[in-house]
């Protein structure tokens, strides 16, 4: 999972995998357990947690640029 906690290492690694495998955004994950924040790109709000996928290879990666405290990370 590419959900950052105290560091962004995992998020950076998932970004790299997403680029190398040319994964497309599959959807977004919404939950009251997620922090009430958003990021933006070019003035447009982005989903807090996105899912990227591809069928060849068969892979799905959740990803967030927003650090999540351990007590709020989805299981």
* 1 within some domain: no
- Residue 66's pLDDT band, with cuts at 50, 70 and 90, is confident
* 38 within some domain: yes
Residues above pLDDT 90, as percent of the chain: 15
pTM here is 0.68
Number of domain units in the chain: 1
* 26 within some domain: yes
* 72 within some domain: no
* 75 within some domain: no
* 34 within some domain: yes
> What pLDDT, on the 0 to 100 scale, is given for residue 69?
63
- Residue 33's pLDDT band, with cuts at 50, 70 and 90, is confident
Domain span at residue 34 reads 9-67
Distances, alpha carbon 18 to alpha carbons 1, 11, 32, 69, 70, in Å:
12, 10, 26, 24, 24
């Amino acid at each position: 999972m590419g959900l950052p906690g105290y560091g962004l290492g995992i998020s950076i690694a998932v970004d790299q995998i997403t680029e190398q495998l040319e994964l497309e955004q599959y959807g977004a994950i919404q939950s009251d357990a997620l922090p009430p924040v958003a990021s933006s790109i070019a003035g447009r709000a982005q989903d807090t947690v996105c899912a990227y996928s591809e069928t060849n290879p068969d892979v799905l990666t959740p990803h967030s640029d927003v650090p999540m405290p351990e007590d709020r990370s989805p299981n």
